[in-house]
């Protein structure tokens, strides 16, 4: 049996009960995400291109497996950018589409582990990215630093959630959940540290371009309009 | 600082991170992190057998990298189309005469 390397939980590697549990946990977020995207389509159809842009960013970044200081590879998630622009709900759907594509065509992740992978990469990641970004903006951090921190932490915590999901399903015989968590976190978490930093920097680069070329679209995102957290230097 | 300058600096920071990872681990395999996770599962749950197999797997590493490249290029294609389109719109706003 040959395994294709990827960074999500592999097909069949979560026992049925955990696979079901994570799928059920992801469901309400998926429904809320559909509603949020439907809201964008209805109220601000001109923002669809920017939404597609955020989706394309996830598509590209999750295909780039990068070398890490641990001597293994992992890939960025790309969900931070869209979460910062549109809020985390929209990214649940965009992230899920990418995970589905990779599960079906690349044997990367899986159908039975889709719920768990959606939960880590498309729910926790975007919520962390969005939360950190908003918090830092409120505290008066420069926009670049807020974007960097949001995207980088969202990416890192995605993989810590993956480690926790695996540890819950496969606790060590000695030491149980925590002993397993330490092992999985050492693999996924430590590998992801430099890659999260790279993702944070790349997200700042793309945000710089968007601020230069799509200022009006970004301003019309009601989310940012209410928060007033985007500063435009022109 | 202009955007180009900022982004070139950021790009070099990213490259430095990746090159550093390659340089400090010259003997390493650079396999996927999930491959290592599998060996941990084999340790913690030695009796565990995956209960579901991927419906379809790329028949070779070449086909797999083809599909990954397709994924990346479709994404980059749209990103560049969008940025080019927006850059052109902005230029037209600034210089209405230059079509």
pLDDT at residue A231 is higher than 50: no
Q: Give the mutation candidate from A18, A59, A188 for the B interface (greatest B CB count, under 10 A).
A: A59
Provide the 3-class DSSP secondary structure of residue A64.
coil
Q: Per-residue DSSP letters for A185-198? A: IIIIIHHHHHHHHH
Q: Give the pLDDT of residue A229.
A: 43
How far apart CA A232 and CA A51 sit, in angstroms, is: 20
Q: For chain A, how long is the longest CA-to-CA vector?
A: 59
pLDDT at residue A4 is higher than 70: no
Residue of A nearest to B77 (CA): A56
**pLDDT, tens digit, for every residue of A54-91?**
999 999 999 998 999 988 888 999 999 999 999 999 99
Task: Name the burial class of residue A86, with classes exposed (0-12), middle (13-18) and buried (19+) by CB atoms within 10 angstroms of its CB.
Answer: buried
* Arithmetic mean of pLDDT, A25-38: 95
Q: Where are the beta strands (DSSP E) in B1-99?
A: none
A56 to B31: CB separation less than 8 angstroms, yes or no: no
Give how far B20 is from chain A: nearest CA, Å.
7
Q: Look up residue A212 and give its two tokens.
A: 């230069």
**Backbone φ and ψ of A172, nearest 5°:** -70, 150
Distance in Å from the first CA to the final CA of chain B:
29
Q: Give the pLDDT of residue B99.
A: 54
Provide the 3-class DSSP secondary structure of residue A73.
strand
Residue A123: pLDDT band with limits 50, 70, 90: very high
A67 to B10: CB separation less than 8 angstroms, yes or no: no
Chain centre to alpha carbon of residue A109: 15
Higher pLDDT, A195 or B42: A195
A with B: how many residue pairs have Cβ under 8 Å apart?
Answer: 189
Provide the 3-class DSSP secondary structure of residue A223.
helix
Q: Nearest Cα to A60, choosing from A45, A81, A41? A: A81
Residues of chain A with C-beta less than 8 angstroms from the C-beta of B9: none
* Arithmetic mean of pLDDT, A31-41: 93
Provide the 3-class DSSP secondary structure of residue B50.
coil
Report the residue count for chain B: 99
Q: Nearest Cα to A136, choosing from A80, A95, A188, A181? A: A80
B57 to A208: CB separation less than 8 angstroms, yes or no: no
Provide the 3-class DSSP secondary structure of residue A168.
helix
Of A7, A198, A214, the CB nearest to B34: A7
* Arithmetic mean of pLDDT, B73-83: 96
A67 to B40: CB separation less than 8 angstroms, yes or no: no
Lowest mean pLDDT among A4-18, A56-70, A74-88, A112-126: A4-18
How far apart CA A98 and CA A60 sit, in angstroms, is: 10
**pLDDT, tens digit, for every residue of B1-14?**
889 999 999 999 99
- Give chain B's radius of gyration (CA, Å): 22
Would you tell me how many other CB atoms lie within 10 Å of the CB of residue A134?
18
B37 to A187: CB separation less than 8 angstroms, yes or no: yes
Of B32, B72, B78, the CB nearest to A7: B32
Domains of chain A: 16-227 (1.10.1760.20)
pLDDT at residue A233 is higher than 70: no
Residues of chain A with C-beta less than 8 angstroms from the C-beta of B85: 49
Of B6, B17, B75, the CB nearest to A208: B6
């Amino acid at each position: 049996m040959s395994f294709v390397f990827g960074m999500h939980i592999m097909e069949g590697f979560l026992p049925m009960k955990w696979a079901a549990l994570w799928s059920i946990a992801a469901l309400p977020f998926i429904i809320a995400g559909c509603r949020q995207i439907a809201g964008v389509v209805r109220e601000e159809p001109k923002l669809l291109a920017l939404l597609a842009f955020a989706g394309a960013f996830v598509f590209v970044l999750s295909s780039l497996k990068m070398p890490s200081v641990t001597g293994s590879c992992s890939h960025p998630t790309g969900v931070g950018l869209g979460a910062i622009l549109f809020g985390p709900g929209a990214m649940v759907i965009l992230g899920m589409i990418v995970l589905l594509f990779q599960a079906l065509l690349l044997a990367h992740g899986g159908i039975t582990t889709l719920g768990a992978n959606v939960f880590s990469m498309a729910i926790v990641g975007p919520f962390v990215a969005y939360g950190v970004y908003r918090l830092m903006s409120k505290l008066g951090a420069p926009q670049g630093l807020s974007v960097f921190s949001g995207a980088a932490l969202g990416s890192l915590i995605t993989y810590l959630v993956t480690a926790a999901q695996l540890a819950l399903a496969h606790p060590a015989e000695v030491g149980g959940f925590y002993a397993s968590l330490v092992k999985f976190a050492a693999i996924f978490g430590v590998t992801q540290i430099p890659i999260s930093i790279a993702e944070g920097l790349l997200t700042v680069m793309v945000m710089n371009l968007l601020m230069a070329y799509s200022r009006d679209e970004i301003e019309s995102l009601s989310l940012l309009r209410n928060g007033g957290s985007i500063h435009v230097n022109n | 600082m202009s955007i180009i300058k900022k982004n070139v600096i950021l790009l070099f920071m990213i490259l430095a991170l990746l090159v550093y990872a390659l340089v400090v681990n010259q003997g390493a395999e650079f396999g996927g992190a999930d491959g290592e996770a599998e060996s941990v599962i084999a340790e913690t749950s030695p009796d565990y057998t995956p209960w579901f197999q991927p419906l379809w797997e790329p028949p070779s590493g070449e086909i797999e990298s083809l599909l990954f490249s397709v994924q990346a290029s479709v994404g980059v294609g749209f990103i560049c189309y969008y940025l080019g389109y927006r850059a052109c719109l902005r230029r037209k706003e600034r210089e209405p005469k230059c079509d």
